[in-house]
Amino acid sequence: MNNAQLNQLKERYVANGCASPATEFAERAENAEIWDADGRRFIDFAGGIGVLNLGHRHPRVVEAVKTQLDRLMHTCAVVMPYAPYVQLAEKLAGLTPINSDQAKVMLINSGAEALENAVKIARSATGRSGVICFDGGFHGRTFMTLAMTGKVLPYKNDFGPMPGDVFRAPFPVPYHGVTEEQALDALAMLFKTDLPPHHTAAIVIEPVLGEGGFYIAPPTFLQALRELCNEHGIMLVFDEVQCGFGRTGRLFACEHSGVKPDLMTMAKSLADGMPLSAVVGRADAMDSSGPNSLGGTYSGNPLSCAAALAVLDVIEEEDILERSRALGVRLAKRFSEWEQAFDCVDNARNLGSMAAFELVSDKARHTPDAELAGAICNRAREQGLILLPCGLYGNSIRTLMPITIEDDVLEEGLTIIEAALRDLTGGSV
């Protein structure tokens, strides 16, 4: 079927709330390229929203899934377990920086499920219920994670009251007027006005905001949160769903700060396209709830576990972390050139290859221009580049291309963005 025929099916049968606005349908993909149902080629700077750090259909991952498929598809891990689940748990427990000498692991299906379970584990371990999150944070679309997510549109607007005992503090973004000191002062005030520390189970934060704009939490801010949690017996939870598995040049973004959480959530590029997520945490916390209190029918599916084991091997054997750092250097250089050439480009930032820049109508006032960001993404799509905006104001352009992208494909994609900036703003380079 071609794109037109598939769009007719989409419009007739797919709920509007989850239907893509895109009119092209993916037919096949390799590394950083996708071909649609009409045979048109696209460069992928979205990576399934951070799921494909190793690219589409990495040969090692495909081989691992095919091999596992020939052996076992499903038993339900809580009915009859299988080797890939416990082998992956061993690997993750050894690789994840946790605030303990002993870590344990649970596997589930999605980032939202990981965050839901992290809250359950924190509440069980502490005997408390309060959860503190941050402005701009994105933690999922289930009801608990919607309550935790710090952005109304498009996620929360239509769904009524959210679950209680979730509170929010400012994320430090000096560019938008929130200093680290102000963020910590607001957290201290939250403890005085709404949620005392002895009722707080967890503080949950993305070390680098994903949907919230690719803003990097200062190491000193994460260190202050660690000290605060230590002082009051609160669980510190790092959400590394989007920023994990090499995107920032380290396996996990928190490693740049040296701060270790009590629990960490991960998903997306953990299995390079297969549905899998995990909570890794202090063994005493992970073991705090009763038998059969955690898990699910498809949790830690054998095919996804096999894919994740291959991912971890590839990250090491192909030096993906160094490739991410090198990619980040190239992106930072190009973004800096655009800041100089275009009045609308500002506040370029990156941690490894997790890179973004702002589009503004007034650089002096840092005035967000979400309309221009949307126009740039639309123009890029017309020219064969898949590109995503992000941020609380919708004016940041982020790059989530596979870390394994070929140099010529990367350059082709960046040239498309540059041309869109020039054509839509009249700037030049």
15-24 long-range contacts, Cβ below 8 Å, gap at least 24?
Answer: 17/158, 22/381
Per the CB < 8 A criterion, the answer to whether 181 and 170 are in contact is no
For 3-57+319-425, CATH number out of 3.40.50.880, 3.30.470.20, 3.20.20.80, 3.90.1150.10 equals 3.90.1150.10
Whether 345 contacts 372, CB under 8 Å: no
* Tokens 């503080």 -> residue: 203
What is the spatial distance between Cα 170 and Cα 149, in angstroms, rounded to a whole number?
A: 13
First to last CA, the chain: 42
Per-residue model confidence as pLDDT tens digits over 371-424:
999 999 999 999 999 999 999 999 999 999 999 999 999 999 999 999 999 999
> Quick check: 271 and 308 in contact, CB under 8 A?
yes
The residues of the chain that CATH labels 3.40.640.10 are 72-317
Tell me the pLDDT tens digit for each residue of 151-165.
888 888 889 899 999
Q: What is the CATH number of domain 72-317?
A: 3.40.640.10
The pLDDT, as a whole number, for residue 428 is 57
Regions of the chain where pLDDT drops below 70: 427-429
Q: Where in the chain is the domain with CATH 3.90.1150.10?
A: 3-57+319-425
**SS3 of 65, please?**
helix
Percent helix, percent strand, percent coil in the chain, to nearest 5: 40, 20, 40
Closest CA to 48 of 32, 61, 66, 27: 32
Query: pTM of the prediction?
Result: 0.96
pLDDT at 429: 53
